[in-house]
Homo-oligomer: A and B are copies of this chain.
Amino acid sequence: MPEHYPNIASPFAKLSLQQKQELYRRAAELFSENKRNLFDRLAPLRTRHISVVLEDIYQSHNASAVLRSCDCFGVQDVHVIEKNNPFNPAGDVAVGSSKWVDYYRYRDTAEAYAELRRRGYRIVATLPHENDQMIGDLDISRPTALVFGTELTGLSQEAIDGADAYVKIPMYGFTESFNISVCAALSLFSLTERMRASTDIDWRLTDDAMLDLKLHWTTQVIRDGEKVLEKLMLDM
């Protein structure tokens, strides 16, 4: 399971776009055409325009279900704040999705929010609030990081106060909340469908980021993938 802390660079970051293309061309000979086609089809559908932030989720099946939804909707980045609870997605619920989604770990909310702001994100908390709006009305012209809180106590006051906007999902029942994995799936469905249908949001990865992603995916489908790619890189 990869452990990305912010600012730890990819081992391939120092390569030029041409060098990455050559490295991927060589690496792709080591796995099936089926997988190559899948990578080629999926990479252009992935986005970092919408990202997910999980604050201190303690139930591993909920963490896993959120990773699975991110993969399904093509949301590439999950930012995980581990204050009291280590992030530990359960294998069977995630169905391998932790291999395809990138996640980034933080020790507290302030560190995560600062990093997200540095990357240009608007931070949106998912909870009822006096200034909230419906998820369908949220302006997503800027990169948007959606924050979800713990199952029992919801988002911390720090996470709420630090957010730029608040969204909720329309509800018409006696039950006053969704399970966190359902809430995340509904939010991502609503935002990503709108994003993909738009003509003026630049939501796709750059060619360079797409190659980085395909190189990372490659390390997941080859035995000792990282070492193999590093060796290929030295031989270039």
Contacts and interface: CB of A to CB of B under 8 A. Distances in A.
Nearest to A179: B65
Contacts of A42: 172-174
For chain A, give the interface size range: 35 or more
**Taking the full assembly, how many copies of this chain does it contain?**
2
Nearest to A35: B174
A100 B73 CA distance: 32
A72 B185 contact: no
Contacts of A169: 189
A170 B193 contact: yes
A38 B186 CA distance: 25
A190 B173 CA distance: 16
A178 B69 contact: yes
Contacts of A192: 172
Q: Which 9 A-B pairs have the closest CB atoms?
A: A74-B172, A71-B173, A45-B172, A72-B173, A182-B185, A100-B174, A71-B175, A72-B171, A97-B175
12 contacts: A38-B174, A42-B172, A42-B174, A65-B179, A68-B175, A69-B182, A71-B173, A96-B174, A96-B175, A100-B174, A179-B181, A185-B186
